[in-house]
Amino acid sequence: MTQSANHLFEPTLMPHLIIDGLNRYHDRPCLYLGDEMQTYREVREKTSQLIQALNSKGIGKGSRTAIISANRPEVLHNIAAGSIAGVCATALHPLGSLDDHAYVIENAGIETLIYDPTAFEGLAKALKERVPGLKNLLAFGPTEVGEDYCALAATFTPKPLVAADITAEDLNTIVFTGGTTGRPKGVLQPYRSGAYMTMVQMAEWEWPEEIRFLVATPLSHAAAAVFVPTLQRGGALYATKGFTPDIFFDTIEKHRITTTFLVPVMVYALLDHPRAKTADLSSLETLFYGASPMSPARLQQGVEQWGQIFFQFFGQSEAPMVLTHMKKKEHDLSKPERFSSCGRPAPWVHMALLDDEDKPVPAGEPGEICVRGPLVMKGYHNLPEETAKAFSGGWLHTGDVGRLDEDGFLYIVDRKKDMIVTGGFNVFPRELEDVISAHPGVAMVSVIGVPDERWGEAVKAVVVLKPGVEGTPELAMAIKERVKESKGSVQTPKSVDFVDKIPLSAVGKPDKKALRAAYWGDRTRAVN
């Protein structure tokens, strides 16, 4: 088959959608950050200059980069540039530890680190010393460690944007998520995954007629998911340099924001703030929320306070964001039981609830949520056994257990994977247990998630001490500090309980189901 025939059936991918969106408009506002506004033309030209800067360093199709930055316009330019250039990018968590960042860079074979020197100069220096394979350090501004990426880009004249010669199966990004093996797993997301996600978003999500999208979360993580729909509809992104209720309410009032995305813990902070009842949110048409289960009581409170503006989505790194959705009118105060649901399965994704033998469960019974479709990852990086397990029976096994009601709404009732979702972030207990068990006074430890009104789930360490060791508040604090230093603040246990013994299963493993039961009581679902 000829080269042209090979491309005959190739779908439109993210780089093509970004180029098309940026080319549609010129002097219309595209990005606001603080007092700075950039038009579509300016974003397009900055993107072109960054592409040329990357190419001048030998960075292009198939190159692997990582980014860590505070919110600044260059993050968005770089997302567009990397995608159009065919780069495989990985976003590093701003609150992650040096050990985790070094592991991700080495595991993924990343050769280029792009960073914000005002916030991560020290980290860049440490990673350069730690990771021999890190060849390029490109900074959004003057730096003593690497090269000024922006100054390099400024030496080039903007040119028309042209996408690299990529295919649907080429890698778009490697997203690292925690793993039960004790190390994060790299989820291989091809270009088809992001394109298909965007297609479903455009078809199913309830976008305002005029999109003024408030990005209150890190641009490096959130912007890629909402960038293309915003461009395609001629909207503008409004990014804040941080999140507080006052910043949020001020931005909505000042710019008449029409839509935003929040994780549940952010919604809780807003509802608990005095301005929740006084701020003018009349312009806000759609509040997208997801990343972790939301308290049904708090969600009901939000609808009572602000009306039916909430839109829920559910997905995971292995099949991002659009597996299910609950639309605005489905947040029905006359049906309070529905506030525990994550909505109906998207018609664009094959979904089944399967038992342990990969057979469909009877109607109304719980089963593991399994999916098929172009959205699904290629697999886990360098983990063939984990990949085979995830794809057992020709389905992607999500690790979440759900049931469908008679109206087709999905309820997540448990989590097969040993994972905690706290404030929208994934925490995998095995990684923390490895850190805590290395403490000289610890004989045994199990880390679990427990219900928490603010965080959804809070990380709790249940610890058995060695003989003669006393479980004091000072020791609990020392354990927390140990985890914070090794894994970062997000993964640090909110509480440490000292116990005489941890329940064991028949084969001698910690019985986390029994351990969790003491904290979860008679709740109808084992996620919060």
Whether 231 has a pLDDT exceeding 90, the answer reads yes
Q: What was the pLDDT predicted at 422?
A: 86
What whole-number percentage of the chain has pLDDT above 70?
A: 95
With CA atoms as reference, report the closest residue to 78 among 175, 181, 220: 220
Whether 5 has a pLDDT exceeding 80, the answer reads no
Q: What was the pLDDT predicted at 180?
A: 38
With CA atoms as reference, report the closest residue to 68 among 92, 45, 46: 92
Tokens of 283: 């312009």
Q: What was the pLDDT predicted at 213?
A: 97
Whether 264 has a pLDDT exceeding 90, the answer reads no
Q: What's this model's pTM, rounded to 2 decimal places?
A: 0.83
CA distances from 200 to 374, 375, 432, 518 (A): 11, 10, 36, 40
CATH 3.40.50.980 domain range(s) in the chain: 3-195, 243-348+374-383
CATH topology of domain 3-195: Rossmann fold (3.40.50)
State the Cα–Cα distance between residues 398 and 188, nearest whole angstrom.
15
Q: What is the pLDDT of residues 106-126, one digit of tens each?
A: 999 999 999 999 999 999 999
Contact between residue 86 and residue 170 where contact means Cβ atoms under 8 Å apart:
yes
Tokens of 54: 């990357």
Confidence of residue 513 (pLDDT cuts 50, 70, 90): confident
Whether 2 has a pLDDT exceeding 70, the answer reads no
CA distances from 429 to 95, 180, 197, 291, 456 (A): 17, 8, 29, 18, 16
Helical (H) or strand (E) element with 302 = helix 296-306
Range 128-152 average pLDDT: 97
Mean of pLDDT over the chain: 91
AA letter at 477:
M
Tokens of 453: 């009104």
Confidence of residue 60 (pLDDT cuts 50, 70, 90): very high
Confidence of residue 220 (pLDDT cuts 50, 70, 90): confident
Reported CATH class of domain 243-348+374-383? alpha beta
Q: What is the pLDDT of residues 300-357, one digit of tens each?
A: 999 999 999 999 999 999 999 999 999 999 999 999 889 989 999 999 999 999 998 9
Q: What was the pLDDT predicted at 426?
A: 75
Least confident of 175-189, 245-259, 273-287: 175-189
Reported CATH class of domain 420-520? alpha beta
| CA atoms 418, 298, 402, 288: torsion sign | negative
Q: What was the pLDDT predicted at 179?
A: 42
CATH 3.30.300.30 domain range(s) in the chain: 420-520
Q: What is the pLDDT of residues 392-414, one digit of tens each?
A: 999 999 998 899 999 999 998 76
Helical (H) or strand (E) element with 413 = strand 410-415
Helical (H) or strand (E) element with 350 = strand 350-354
Q: What is the pLDDT of residues 470-505, one digit of tens each?
A: 999 999 999 999 999 988 888 899 999 999 988 875
Q: What was the pLDDT predicted at 452?
A: 87
State the Cα–Cα distance between residues 322 and 482, nearest whole angstrom.
37
Q: How many CB atoms lie within 10 A of CB 44?
A: 24
Question: Residue 102 class from Cβ within 10 Å (0-12 exposed, 13-18 middle, 19+ buried)?
Answer: middle
